[in-house]
Chains A and B, each alone.
Chain A
């Protein structure tokens, strides 16, 4: 392996079994085969098995940070656990160079009855530190976690914030050559989160990092390159902005295919010629047609909706108070919102809807993702011709 490469993943696949009883049977079979010196033939699927990760390959250089994104069930955590050696691949090969530290779940090895001090030693040992290392770093860990006098109390008396702070503090003081992070950068309050990000940035100087996150801002901020997984398959590995672009368009396509339907509210986007569309062009004229099909209202109707960009936190919120005089049953109430020239930044969006009773106090209806639409520059009319199967 090239000395510059810290992690090498070659055509790795992993299968899971949907049925518990079968998984037990297969477990016994596989172990039995290995024991008598036979190969487990793990490269083929048996009944009720499926590939949770299918043919994924990538390399991570020293000092590089790789992000992994994808919707739920894409296989991100499974991949991370394989890199850590908790699970072994069923096909392919993983090679890692150096000590691997994993932030998969903070405080996973804590015992509630032991004191913070005792837990630091046990947890650090489980994470692979030596006694000498822990002795040296003990004060740093306590200071980083901001535990103070509680260090000699059982961790079951800790607040949940203290608990995760201590877990995180131990994990980041391992000084790994490769750090695997699974969506746990957001622990504690804003100050502590900030501290965590700074600490990760410090580790970044000497180590390779792999980060799983649903927060695209984290990915943009921390990563050099990004891997996009979907249903266990590797869609693409590229620089972050390119992947976020593809991610956004893919999510858009997936949801666009699903077609939003609700028994309460319909939404349509119509262009100048009154044709329904969801591929919009910047600075053109559109109107959004909302239809409330059936709803019971006590104190007057308030509607708010937001345009949410799929990859950044861009968020445009509008409130409609025009119907605050309406009460009782509402049937087929339609209204239009006209945009003379739509000035949303290009990208993929969804509309979040909240319907409230009275003064936005009691929420009647809340839909995070209704319809999806895409906004393009006028010149670049071509939507990425890109297919997922």
Chain B
């Protein structure tokens, strides 16, 4: 018999054992690649269909943040610190990586709630829904990178050859975002407060993380940055693009491993609990 036999019973995953969960998750993700793409397309097309400037909305928020910091710096209110490149390039690059995390987390944490009653009418892979919601922030990231490329041309600079490693060095921040997105989308499904809190928390975090300024050498922010995984995930890729080397590579590797662990743990938790949440959406 080639037909698939599916069983549903309480505490299914506990009875099957943890090892089989990995195989199940892998098979599900593999089988649903096309579904994930279609959900991404749905998400992407619908947001920009009734809008004139479409995808370029992705540039508005980072540009405003960067301009604000340029003005604050000029006015002498805030010191950007010691940086190794023209500030607009430095800031836009930082924002591109940061937005991948913050916009990604906002989108993925809202993925299940946004699907709404669809979840209680059709049985389909909810993992695809969360992963697909990362698509739009990813496209925004690419658009921001185009702007960075234009800035490089404007300043007559060349990025480091290490720019070709970008697809690899953004993997940890992507995994961390999707991992946390899995959990937050579940929690948001049960308790709606998460969606409201998250926007505030992320804005707060952006100012605490050296994204738009260099890491201070002394003070509470310096101390906080040492233990802030996002600092390493943003600054190491940025340094690689700008100079080809980074002083924070050790921190980056440690954070990457932590991100992978978080991703796997969150994926397993999501897998075990997704049906329970479907009842409560």
**Chain A interface residues (CB < 8 Å from chain B):** 1, 3, 23-24, 27-28, 30-31, 34-35, 37, 39-40, 42-43, 81-82, 84-100, 102, 104-105, 108-109, 111, 113-114, 118, 121-122, 125-128, 130-131, 154, 177
Contacts and interface: CB of A to CB of B under 8 A. Distances in A.
Interface in B98-138: 117-124
Contacts of A42: 10-11
Given A86-B278, A108-B121, A114-B45, A99 B269 contact: no
A23 B8 contact: no
A178 to B, nearest CB: 10
Contacts of B14: 34, 37, 39
Given A40-B11, A84-B122, 6 more contacts: A3-B1, A88-B10, A90-B10, A94-B7, A109-B121, A127-B122
A87 B280 contact: no
Contacts of B191: 24
Interface string B245-259: 000000000000000
B45 A89 contact: no
**Chain A CB within 10 Å, residue with most, of B13, B39, B190, B279:** B279
A58 to B, nearest CB: 15
Contacts of A98: 3-4
Contacts of A130: 34
Contacts of A86: 119-123, 275, 278
A27 B8 contact: no
B9 A89 contact: yes
A34 B123 contact: no
A30 B278 CA distance: 14
A34 B190 contact: no
A264 to B, nearest CB: 40
Nearest to B8: A94
A77 B12 CA distance: 22
Category for how many chain B residues contact A: 35 or more
Interface in B238-281: 269, 272-273, 275-280
A180 B279 CA distance: 19
Given A34-B273, A86-B278, A128 B124 contact: yes
A177 B2 CA distance: 13
Interface in B154-208: 186, 190-191
Contacts of A24: 190-191, 280
A40 B275 CA distance: 14
**Chain A CB within 10 Å, residue with most, of B9, B14, B41, B45:** B9
A34 B280 contact: no
B45 A113 contact: yes
Contacts of B35: 125-126
B50 interface: yes
Contacts of A31: 186, 269, 272-273, 276-277
B110 to A, nearest CB: 16
A21 to B, nearest CB: 10
B8 A93 contact: yes
Contact of A87 (B49, B273, B275): B275
Contacts of B118: 108-109, 126
Nearest to B272: A34
9 contacts: A24-B191, A85-B6, A86-B278, A93-B8, A94-B8, A100-B6, A100-B123, A114-B46, A114-B49
Given A86-B278, A108-B118, A34 B13 contact: yes
Contacts of B186: 31
A109 B132 CA distance: 15
